[in-house]
Structure formats: structure tokens, C-alpha cells
């Protein structure tokens, strides 16, 4: 029998919203807020069936970490698959990880520690299924854990399928839900197989870069973020990290560009219309307004103020 739960922070006092969400919707992980000038808001649909659990989540920025004590507490052996519908997230598990853009897919297993999150508002569809189901329909969970897959035409099809699944599941029998889960996993297998067959031949370098980019996203607002910090946290030598970003102009340039990308998305979003450009820059990790202004103009060819005006006037 399917259990349907709908949760939202809409009726909760803004200053208590994050703590309430953490203590009700995210009890299987440790959750940390991300600096944001806007009040935290979130809502989700949870549909638990004998075949697996389907989530449709819209949330403000946060970071979740699953630790050994979380694993011991619930002893879950499920596999979690997250398809980002809007925004940008990141996943890290073991020695794998990466940034998940809109349309991308991230996979983690709940029997091992991981870090996952987003530094901006996001929407996602998520499936959690037993390890045995994942093994039957997609592959070895140990080989997939921590991997991220970029968006494609097939992932767009998967997004539409999961939206329809979420809208219909309340009316489904257990047998119908089981068939729907099987169809979803068939599409997931297509997404993962497609990217595996098109994998970059220099896997080691690209894997280091992907993992480092995920770490950059997680620590983007930390002014002390640098190659030494990344090397210690990821247990990867600085020389390998430098090599991974050689084509990007270096690690510092990659960090700066990730922060600029976040500012650009905020300036283009009406959700940030009430905030000053200076506060958006600070929330994106820039501590020096002059450095930010010069970097923005150098990269995009116009000032942040001009870009915000153009994005509103077309």
C-alpha cells in the first residue's frame, strides 16, 4: 500500500522554517544551512511503495551529510537517484563526485557516508530503491555511487515521466506503482549507459576535476577556499588538482568563475529582485566588492547592474 506524505514550510514562522524542515523531512541525514539572505522555504511529496520511494522536492539551499551514526541508526541499504529539475546541486561519495546541473542525475548509496546539497533554490525528483532492485535494473551500486550524469534528451524524457508518475501515484495500486518504478529505472539505465559509452578517455583527470568542482560548490561561500584546503579535504595531491584545472586557467580561476556563475543566475532570477547586488555577491562568496565588480565585467563584458537591467527589459 502506498503511503503519501506532503510536507511544507509554508505555515511555519520563517525563522523556524529550516530547523523544522531538518527535524521532520530530513531525519536520516545531518543537515546544514547555506548562507542566504532569503528565508528558507521547502516543500515535498513523499510516496512510499513496496517497490521504492518517490520524492518531488522544491527547497531552498542546504547541505546534507550522511554520517556513520546516521547509517547505524536506520541501517538502510537503499540507493538514491536524484534528477535535478531546476537549479544546481552537488554529490560526493567516496572518491567520486561532481556538480549536477539542471537535467543531470546523481547517484548515492545510503549504506556509506556521502555529502549532497545545493547552494541555490532547487527542484528535484528522487527515487530510492533497494540495492537488489538497482542491481537488477541498472548495475552495481558500488560502481555507480558518487557518480553524476549530465542532462540529455533521455534525461528530459525521464523528468517528464517522473513528474507524471508523481502526479498519478496516489491513484495507483501497488502493482501499477511497481510497473511505473520499473519504467523509471529503465530510463535511468538509458541515461547512465549513454554517458558511460561516451566517457572521456582521460577518466582520472576528469574524475579529479569533477570531484573538486563538487567540493567548490559546497564551499563556495568560504573565503578560505583554496587548493590546499581542497587537497586536504579530498585527499588528493595539490599537483593533481592543479593538473585537473590546467585548461580552466587554474584552480583560483575555477573558484572565481563558479562564484560569478552563481551571481549571474541570481541576478537573472526574479526571486532576488529585492536584494542588492552587493548582498548577492557576498552570498556567492565574494568578500571584496571591487574585486567582484572587476571580475564580473571582465568575464561578461558589462557591469552587474547593467546585466540585471537587461535581464528584466529583455
Using an 8 Å Cβ cutoff, are 37 and 283 in contact? Answer: yes
- Position 223 scores a pLDDT of 79
Helix orientation angle between 289-300 and 304-313, rounded to the nearest 10 degrees: 50
Cα Rg of the chain, angstroms: 20
* Cell numbers at 277, concatenated: 547586488
Residues of the chain where predicted confidence (pLDDT) is lower than 70: 36-37, 194-204, 314
Rounded CA-CA distance 235/196 in Å is 25
- Position 200 scores a pLDDT of 39
271: Cα separation from own chain's centroid? 19
Rounded CA-CA distance 61/34 in Å is 6
* Cell numbers at 168, concatenated: 498519478
Q: Burial of 116 by CB count in 10 Å (0-12 exposed, 13-18 middle, 19+ buried)?
A: buried
Strand partners, 7: 44
- Position 198 scores a pLDDT of 39
pTM of the entire predicted model: 0.74
- Position 214 scores a pLDDT of 82
Question: Domains of the chain, with CATH numbers?
Answer: 3-197 (2.60.120.10), 203-313 (1.10.10.60)
- Position 37 scores a pLDDT of 64
- Position 197 scores a pLDDT of 39
Lay out the sheet containing 62-66: strands in order across: 30-33, 62-66, 114-118, 89-93, 96-100
SS3 of residue 308 by DSSP: helix
In the chain, count H helices and then E strands. Answer: 13, 12
How do strand 122-130 and strand 78-86 relate by DSSP bridges?
Answer: antiparallel
Strand partners, 90: 99, 117
Rounded CA-CA distance 156/83 in Å is 10
Amino acid at each position: 500500500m502506498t503511503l503519501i506524505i506532503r510536507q511544507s514550510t509554508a505555515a511555519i514562522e520563517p525563522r523556524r522554517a529550516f530547523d523544522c524542515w531538518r527535524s521532520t523531512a530530513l531525519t536520516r541525514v545531518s543537515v546544514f544551512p547555506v548562507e542566504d539572505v532569503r528565508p528558507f522555504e521547502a516543500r515535498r511529496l513523499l510516496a512510499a511503495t513496496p517497490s521504492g520511494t518517490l520524492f518531488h522536492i522544491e527547497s531552498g539551499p542546504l547541505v546534507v551529510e550522511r554520517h556513520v551514526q546516521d547509517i547505524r541508526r536506520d541501517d538502510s541499504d537503499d540507493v538514491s537517484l536524484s534528477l535535478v529539475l531546476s537549479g544546481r546541486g552537488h554529490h560526493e561519495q567516496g572518491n567520486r563526485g561532481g556538480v549536477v546541473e539542471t537535467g543531470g542525475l546523481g547517484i548515492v548509496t545510503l549504506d556509506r557516508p556521502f555529502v549532497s546539497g545545493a547552494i541555490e533554490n532547487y527542484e528535484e525528483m528522487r527515487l530510492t530503491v533497494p540495492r537488489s532492485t538497482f542491481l537488477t535494473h541498472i548495475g552495481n551500486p558500488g560502481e555507480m555511487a558518487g557518480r553524476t550524469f549530465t542532462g540529455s534528451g533521455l534525461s528530459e524524457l525521464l523528468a517528464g515521466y517522473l513528474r507524471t508518475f508523481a502526479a498519478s501515484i496516489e491513484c495507483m495500486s501497488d502493482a501499477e506503482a511497481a510497473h511505473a518504478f520499473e519504467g523509471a529505472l529503465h530510463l535511468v539505465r538509458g541515461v547512465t549507459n549513454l554517458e558511460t559509452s561516451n566517457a572521456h578517455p582521460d577518466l582520472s583527470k576528469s574524475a579529479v576535476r569533477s570531484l573538486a568542482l563538487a567540493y567548490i560548490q559546497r564551499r563556495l561561500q568560504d573565503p578560505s577556499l583554496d587548493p590546499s584546503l581542497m587537497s586536504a579535504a579530498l585527499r588528493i595531491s595539490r599537483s593533481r588538482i592543479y593538473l585537473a584545472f590546467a585548461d580552466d586557467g587554474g584552480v583560483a580561476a575555477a573558484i572565481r568563475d563558479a562564484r560569478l556563475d552563481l551571481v549571474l543566475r541570481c541576478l537573472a532570477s526574479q526571486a532576488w529582485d529585492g536584494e542588492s547586488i552587493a548582498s548577492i555577491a557576498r552570498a556567492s562568496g565574494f568578500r571584496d566588492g571591487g574585486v567582484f565588480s572587476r571580475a564580473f565585467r571582465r568575464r561578461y563584458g558589462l557591469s552587474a547592474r547593467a546585466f540585471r537591467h537587461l535581464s528584466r527589459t529583455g
